[in-house]
Amino acid sequence: MDVSPILISMKTASVTIVITFFLGVAAARWVVGLRSKHLRTIMDGLLTLPLVLPPTVAGFFLLYIFGVKRPVGEFFLNYFGYKIAFSWSATVLAATVVAFPLMYRSARGAFEQVDENLIFAGRTLGLSEREIFWKIMMPNAVPGVLSGGVLAFARGLGEFGATAMIAGNIAGKTRTLPLAIYSAVSAGDMDKAWDYVAIIVVISFLTVVGMNYFSGKEKKQAKRGQRHVS
């Protein structure tokens, strides 16, 4: 069995989760802090849009932006000599765009569940908004944020449609596990396809276990907070 799709997928998902984690947490913090309800609704819709769009549509937009003859793609090619489309970087780009909404929504939900009394108390004590975030919001939201990170990692690992559009299906370069499964089935090699499917299923199962673990910790933490308040 060719292990390159496994290595490419793990490498892509690992880089993707680092980018997605920090972007998702930062975006969630910003949206939660918006005073305008209408602006919050609009920004939430824009940031969540890749979650509801078909992956091929998201990939189409990425290809339109980062293609060789397109604004950003042409800029990178002319000034840095680097082609984004149909490169390994494109697999990271596609996985990041598709996985980002899951990280963002999970982080935002976790921040919104933090007891407001704790935030008000922090402001009363003279803490800055940055201190409130790092000393109050983030510690209380850690289980939910980590749960979103696990989910985003799995989503990045299993990305297919957007990756196929902007990165292609180049063996040893951009062929991730989902693309390897598709290629094996197309070639009639069902044994190889089953091998890759088994790997994806195991990773997905471990992801569900991880999500349940962090979700359980989040619920226990919320119950402790309610007892403390009462």
- Quote the pLDDT of residue 183: 93
Decide if pLDDT at 229 tops 50.
Answer: no
* Contact (CB, 8 A) for 193 and 46: no
Question: pTM value?
Answer: 0.85
Q: Where are the chain's structural domains?
A: 4-223
Question: Taking the C-alpha atoms of 212, 213, 216 and 221 in order, what is their torsion angle to the nearest 10 degrees?
Answer: -140
Mean model confidence pLDDT for the chain: 88
Find out if CATH 1.10.3720.10 is the number for domain 4-223: yes
* Contact (CB, 8 A) for 86 and 195: no
Residues 183-202 have pLDDT tens digits of 999 999 999 999 999 998 99
Contacts of 32 (CB under 8 A, 6+ apart): 108, 111, 112
What percent of the chain lies above the pLDDT cut of 90? Answer: 51
Residues 6-34 have pLDDT tens digits of 999 999 999 999 999 999 999 999 999 88
Residues 49-75 have pLDDT tens digits of 999 999 999 999 999 999 888 888 888
- Quote the pLDDT of residue 217: 62
Q: 24: which 2 tokens?
A: 């998702």
* Segment 220-224 mean pLDDT: 58
Residues 104-153 have pLDDT tens digits of 999 999 998 888 888 888 888 888 888 888 888 998 888 889 888 888 99
* Segment 210-227 mean pLDDT: 62
